[in-house]
Structure 1
């Protein structure tokens, strides 16, 4: 499980299968494998270009 956040503040205790990465989802995505599931919440004011964001999700 991969958690992406712009902020470097993450919880100390997380499950062993969880990894956090600091990244800006408005920038180009350079992940090595495709995602099976993407969950976003409270992003309505954070995404600058929704069309581009949705394109990256479905690529």
Structure 2
């Protein structure tokens, strides 16, 4: 597992937390930020997987 996959997973968790906090506090900007962080994390994780496959 490379660092891109780890960072992607961390970003997804962080995004989920932000999104849930935004829903709890009724802060739509936090919800949007959380969704963006989750999407960014998924992209990083996907990039890491492709990178792993190419280096094997």
Please give the range of the TM-score, normalised by the shorter of the 2 chains.
under 0.3
Specify the structure having the higher radius of gyration (Cα).
Answer: 2
Whichever structure has more strand as a proportion of its residues is 1
